[in-house]
Amino acid sequence: MTSVTELITLGTAAGPAIRGKENGMASALVVDGKYYMVDFGLGCVRAAHQAGLRGQDFVAGFITHLHSDHVGELPAYLLWNWGEPVDGFTSPVGVYGPGRDPQHVRGDKLSGTKDLVSHTLQAFSYDLDIRVTDEARPEMTSLLDVHEIEIPSVEQGAGHRPFVVFEDERVKVTAVLVLHPPVYPAFAFRFDTAHGSVTFSGDTAECPALVELARGTDILVHEAVNLDFFTSMGFSPTFINHQRESHTSPEGAGRIAEACGAGQLVLSHLAGVASVEEWRTRAASTFSGQVNVATSGQRFSVTGAPAAARI
């Protein structure tokens, strides 16, 4: 098998509003025939299938934060990619995501990633039981290895310096906390492979920790918001303020890419409406490298320095 790493932007739209034809936020990183998911937005199940991805090659999924537009299709993704009848996973797969929010006044009663998955299994318990007995599928409960990402202590950087969340023979995944108020925790992820690296910003305002995480990355996948669209459409000041405080303009994404020395910038999680040229031109005004405005199902080859120079 040819050794290769490929990024597939399965969905590129912010949500939960639907303002165009693009799928919701989800990406896949394919490394030597195995793949890793980042977020599970609207449409990711069909998009992954159309991209040729099958559950039998799925290794692990990584959730940046628990907004619905990033996890809404996680239940369907698991149910549609499980068991031999659909070329699905039959051995354990990992799910890595945020725990409960300690900063929220009701955070101790609201679900983190483990509860999200366990409640999914309970909600679909009838379907899961029937398919185990009727279709000889394995018990899904034994196949999901769920981890709530542990944030380092203050002495270790409190999540504002890169820390390792996963590693196998193909990838090393590091993370930092990013700025997406009022959501906490919210993560960015970097994947280092033998062929190069890809960094995913998640949802964030301009963030120094992300610059540190993404330093020298081959591809930076960064969110962007067009505030002018929301203003022109008469959205409330509260909504617009959230977009301003919790997201990044195309110019801001360009500044992050320039500061970290990214090989190329891929704009994704596009909030609001703008032309492709507007998104690109605004980001290019602050970034000297290549700018791509991603669409659903787009593929990017990852080629960079050897892993030994990065990991």
- The answer to whether residues 124 and 74 touch, using CB atoms and an 8 Å cutoff, is no
34 DSSP 8-state letter:
E
Taking alpha carbons only, the member of 163, 164, 184, 178 closest to residue 220 is 178
Cβ burial, residue 151 (10 Å; 0-12/13-18/19+): buried
- Domains of the chain, start order: 5-302 (3.60.15.10)
Cβ burial, residue 91 (10 Å; 0-12/13-18/19+): exposed
- The answer to whether residues 120 and 75 touch, using CB atoms and an 8 Å cutoff, is yes
Is the preceding peptide bond at 182 cis, omega within 30 degrees of 0? Answer: yes
Residues 122-179: pLDDT tens digits?
Answer: 999 999 999 999 999 999 999 999 999 999 998 899 999 999 999 999 999 999 999 9
Q: Is residue 40 over pLDDT 60? A: yes
136 DSSP 8-state letter:
-
Copy the structure tokens of residue 1.
């098998």
Q: Is residue 205 over pLDDT 90? A: yes
Q: How far is CA 106 from CA 83, 110, 147, 200, in A?
A: 37, 7, 22, 29
- The answer to whether residues 57 and 93 touch, using CB atoms and an 8 Å cutoff, is no
58-62 vs 34-38, strand pairing mode: parallel
- The answer to whether residues 287 and 258 touch, using CB atoms and an 8 Å cutoff, is yes
pLDDT of residue 306: 41
Rounded to whole angstroms, the Cα distance separating 8 from 49 reads 12
142 versus 305: the higher-pLDDT residue is 142
219-225 vs 196-200, strand pairing mode: parallel
Copy the structure tokens of residue 180.
């997406």
Residues 93-133: pLDDT tens digits?
Answer: 999 999 999 999 999 999 999 999 999 999 999 999 999 99
Radius of gyration over every alpha carbon of the chain, rounded to an integer in angstroms = 19
Residues 84-93: pLDDT tens digits?
Answer: 999 999 999 9
Please state the rounded mean pLDDT for residues 269-290: 97
Copy the structure tokens of residue 310.
């990065």
Which single residue is written with the structure tokens 């799925």?
58
Q: How many CA atoms lie within 13 A of 152 on its CB side?
A: 17
- The pLDDT-based confidence of 51 (bands split at 50, 70, 90) is very high
**Alpha helix positions (H), 33-73:** 44-50, 68-71
- Measure CA 107 to chain center: 22
Which single residue is written with the structure tokens 């318990």?
125
Residue-averaged pLDDT of the chain: 95
